[in-house]
A = this chain, B = another copy of it.
Amino acid sequence: MQSLKPVFEPKSIAVIGASREPGKIGNVLVKNLVDSNFPGPVYPVNPSADEVHGLKCFKSVLAIPGKVECAVIAIRAGLVPKALAECGRKGVKGAIVISGGFSEAGEEALENGLVRISRRHGIALIGPNCLGVVNPAAKMDSIFLPTYKMGRPTQGGIAFVTQSGAVGSMVLDVVAREGFGISKFVSYGNAAAIDETDLLRYLMNDRETNIIVLYIEGVKRGREFYDLTKRLAKKKPLVVLKAGVTEKGIAAALSHTASLAGSDAAYRAVFRQNHLIEAKSLDDMFDYAKIFTTQPKCAGDRVAVVTNGGGMGVLAADALEGEGLKLAEFSRETRKALRACMPELVKDENPLDLVGDADASRFSDAIRIASSDPGVDALAVITLFQTASLDSRVVDVIINASARKRKPVINITLGGEYSEMQRRALESSGVPSFSSPTSAARSLAKLVEYSRFTKKA
């Protein structure tokens, strides 16, 4: 397999199909590379333009004087083979074909032609019919969507690999808003040459990636996928959302990307056997990504719940038990320490209800005491910011508790603007904050399960 470095970390880029017309794909592509301060040269290619966004434009990739590592191609499908062959002759080693109109539109022959050209010249070919690549560290951005419509995430540890461009654009936009950083993003579309297994192999060894999230409608090479993910899961958590699960879903997937969705049961079996972390919905996918990228492994399944609202404690107890986790039994020392510093109304029980007038300092005491209990493996801290006594000082308390990284610490916050502000502050400091006990418990259960597996593996 070709190296994927030229597409993820190119030192120079040609945009084939660069356009002077605002809003056109070939215009936005150049603009985004310029705006993101791509450090190497960007070469617009268009036979009928002199310059695009202040950059000199070339008639073809062959006319570019310097070296070109990666070509982003956004021209009519019928013109792509010629352009790709020229890239080959120029010595371009990575190509991202954004253009649609290939196998997904019944044009298999045209797509097979691309594969042949890329093989002949040793080009790593992403696409066609894709969004391509984002790599914040390398300031690489091949997404043709304007930044005001779709935000770009900061640098972090999550790699997103998605077959669907639509899902991909939505993922980037949500992740940018939530404030979680990514190591790499790739939307690989029809996977004519480079497919999900190739991408996973690259990311398995990528040092900037600590967790991989995969959206697929089907897999190209089942055996290779199985073998690779078996090895990968021992190194890094792999969260997978498989669409095309039901009969109608499979039919829709077929119509959409012409990939064979395959039997749902077979996929499930592979995921389970290889200890992949299966997300059943987009919500799960985001939740799992954020807990795995921020939290340490969990030594066991005993969770302490700290809350300033009794009802939320009850819901959390339900949710944790419902996911097969346990409410930790506080030790005698813990109970004693709690009784020593808590007001009388606070019972030394788990869930630990700090009651409605709890402030940041009561939370601080409670979190310190509960997390020191050897019978506690993880902490779920529920903060109802609606009360008069709880303010943003508790955010620092939770961030500090989490920063020790000995045990997982997660937060549950739900409310209006004020609450949302605190939630964002927590998340941008590496504390995953969930909007409900249900999603928090589900995510924690996945972390516990995967931690158990890696301990054995």
A contacts, CB < 8 Å to B: 23, 25, 28, 100, 105, 144-146, 148-151, 162-170, 172-174, 176-177, 215, 217, 243-249, 251-253, 255-257, 280-283, 307-315, 317-322, 327, 345, 347, 349, 351, 353, 356, 384-388, 414-420, 435-439
Partner of A150, one of B415, B420, B439: B415
Q: Which residues of B contact A25 (CB under 8 A)?
A: 388
Given A173-B419, A174-B415, also A386-B167 (CB < 8 A): no
Cβ-closest chain B residue relative to A28: B388
Q: Which residues of B contact A321 (CB under 8 A)?
A: 246-249
Given A243-B311, A415-B177, also A170-B249 (CB < 8 A): no
| A151, A321, A386 — most chain B CB neighbours (10 Å) | A386
Q: How far is the CB of A96 from chain B (nearest CB, A)?
A: 16
Cβ-closest chain B residue relative to A151: B416
Given A388-B149, A416-B177, also A166-B249 (CB < 8 A): no
Q: Which residues of B contact A177 (CB under 8 A)?
A: 415-417, 420
CA distance A147 to B345 in the complex (A): 26
Q: Which residues of B contact A315 (CB under 8 A)?
A: 167, 243, 249, 281-282
**Complex contact B418–A149 (CB within 8 A):** yes
**Complex contact B243–A166 (CB within 8 A):** no
Cβ-closest chain B residue relative to A146: B388
Instruction: List 7 A-B pairs, minimum CB-CB distance, nearest first.
Output: A166-B309, A164-B311, A256-B310, A246-B321, A249-B318, A169-B386, A281-B438
Contacts A245-B322, A282-B315 known; 11 new A-B pairs at CB < 8 A: A148-B418, A149-B388, A151-B416, A165-B309, A174-B416, A177-B420, A243-B315, A244-B318, A255-B347, A281-B437, A283-B438
CA distance A164 to B172 in the complex (A): 37
**Complex contact B243–A314 (CB within 8 A):** yes
CA distance A253 to B316 in the complex (A): 11
CA distance A253 to B314 in the complex (A): 6
Q: Which residues of B contact A169 (CB under 8 A)?
A: 309, 384, 386-387
Q: How far is the CB of A311 from chain B (nearest CB, A)?
A: 3
CA distance A345 to B60 in the complex (A): 29
**Complex contact B309–A145 (CB within 8 A):** no
Q: How far is the CB of A433 from chain B (nearest CB, A)?
A: 14
Report how many copies the assembly holds.
2
20 contacts between A and B (CB under 8 A): A28-B388, A100-B345, A150-B386, A150-B415, A164-B312, A165-B309, A165-B311, A166-B307, A166-B310, A166-B311, A167-B312, A167-B315, A170-B312, A177-B416, A246-B318, A252-B314, A252-B317, A256-B310, A281-B315, A282-B315
Q: Which residues of B contact A388 (CB under 8 A)?
A: 23, 25, 28, 144-146, 149
Q: Which residues of B contact A244 (CB under 8 A)?
A: 314, 318
**Complex contact A149–B386 (CB within 8 A):** yes
Q: How far is the CB of A170 from chain B (nearest CB, A)?
A: 5
Partner of A310, one of B146, B176, B257, B327: B257
Q: Which residues of B contact A251 (CB under 8 A)?
A: 317
**Complex contact A311–B163 (CB within 8 A):** yes
Cβ-closest chain B residue relative to A345: B105
Cβ-closest chain B residue relative to A391: B149
**Complex contact B217–A311 (CB within 8 A):** yes
Q: Which residues of B contact A351 (CB under 8 A)?
A: 252
Q: How far is the CB of A252 from chain B (nearest CB, A)?
A: 4
**Complex contact B167–A309 (CB within 8 A):** yes
**Complex contact B438–A280 (CB within 8 A):** yes
**Complex contact A151–B417 (CB within 8 A):** yes
Q: Which residues of B contact A257 (CB under 8 A)?
A: 310
Given A243-B314, A388-B23, also A282-B165 (CB < 8 A): no
Q: How far is the CB of A264 from chain B (nearest CB, A)?
A: 9
CA distance A311 to B310 in the complex (A): 40
Q: How far is the CB of A443 from chain B (nearest CB, A)?
A: 13
**Complex contact A314–B249 (CB within 8 A):** yes
**Complex contact B314–A170 (CB within 8 A):** no
